[in-house]
Amino acid sequence: MVRSITFLEAGYTEQFEKIVNPVTGRWRKIRFPSTVALIEHPREGYLLFDAGYSGRFHEVTRRFPEKLYAWVTPVTVSPETSAVGRLKALGIAESEVSQVLLSHFHADHIGGAGDFSRARYVASRREYDYLSGLGSVRQVKHGFLKALLPESFETRTRWVDEFPVPLRELGEGWYGSDLLGDGSIFLVPLPGHTLGQMGLFVPSVRDVDYFLVADAAWLTPSFREGIAPMRVTDLIFHDPSSYRSTLSRIHSLDCAKRDAGRLRILTCHCEVAMEKERSHAL
Ligand SMILES: [Zn+2]
């Protein structure tokens, strides 16, 4: 089983809380960290779930149409606060990362992917092919900045849609693909936010089962209270009604499991939850 999970903040952006939580949120700007999960596996070594932002974002968004993304979503990240910088501070070299699992292809999840010279990637072929087939302006509209990915991306990627392993039942009507074949990490489809978004279910890490839901919910209250974001955000979703049904399923799972206290559901961008995780680790 997985030895440990450590959550790293790899850059952040700011947005109005009310837009993502119209019920209990306020009209104030809050930080949305891009969280990277560092997973230590006894056989595979270090794996990352998502790659956050890195300095490459600022290079890529100097030109049009990519510049439009940076206007709408101003990003703060430095070499020290990117995933590779955070790892270095922990004494881990970028070359020690064996796999980078990408939940989906939005820029805040793939930004640092090119910083890992020896890693294999795991991603959705359906989503990648769909986005790659769009013109450059439409790609930016979908939050996809292809230049963030390394040139060798396609040859280094294991496509989740082509996994030979069947889906395994995880309970409460959820299914996942057994990534390493040892029952330690499962890729779980979370459609709606994008075409092929996937989360990660990592059971039994020091008596905690982690379910990392990426952007299927943005903040903890979103799934805890079942609060969908304002309708204006539908503009960036691949399929708004499927997004809402995925969110509602996560809400039901949380309701069913909350009292037992073993399952920890975490979104990628909830600063409050991530600070709590970091304090658990101390
Ligand atoms: Zn996203």
For residue 20, the CA-to-ligand 1 centroid distance in Å is 13
Specify the 3-state DSSP secondary structure of 178.
Answer: strand
pTM over 0.85: yes
Residue 115 CA to residue 128 CA, distance in Å, equals 19
CA of 104 to the centre of ligand 1 (A): 7
Q: How far is the CA of 2 from the centre of ligand 1 (A)?
A: 26
**What pLDDT score was predicted for residue 278?**
84
Torsion 202-178-125-59 (CA) sign:
positive
**161-184 tens-digit pLDDT:** 887 776 787 888 899 999 999 999
Across all residues in the chain, what is the average pLDDT?
A: 94
As a whole number, mean pLDDT of residues 238-245 equals 96
Query: 243: domain CATH number?
Result: 3.60.15.10
| 12, HSE (Cβ side, Cα atoms, 13 Å) | 14
Q: Considering only CA atoms, which of 224, 226, 228 is closest in space to residue 257?
A: 224
Residue-wise pLDDT for 18-65, tens only, equals 998 999 999 999 999 999 999 999 999 999 999 999 999 999 999 999
Q: What DSSP assignment string belongs to 41-78?
A: ETTTEEEEE-----THHHHHTTSTTHHHHHHHS--B--
- What's the angle, vertex CA 41, arms to CA 52 and CA 186, rounded to 5? 70
Q: How many Å lie between the centroid of ligand 1 and the Cα of residue 140? A: 13
Structural domain boundaries enclosing 82: 4-281
Instruction: Report how far residue 126's alpha carbon sits from residue 191's, in angstroms, rounded to the nearest whole number.
Output: 12
- 89 CA distance to ligand 1 middle (Å): 27
How far, in Å, from the CA of 4 to the mean position of ligand 1? 25
Provide the 10 A C-beta neighbour count for residue 78. 12
Cα of 236 vs centre of ligand 1, distance in Å, is: 9
**Residue 214 alpha carbon to ligand 1 centre in Å:** 7
- Domains: count for the chain: 1
Residue 282, pLDDT score: 61
Span from the CA of 193 to the centroid of ligand 1 (angstroms): 7
- Ranges 93-102, 204-213, 223-232, 273-282: which has the least confidence: 273-282
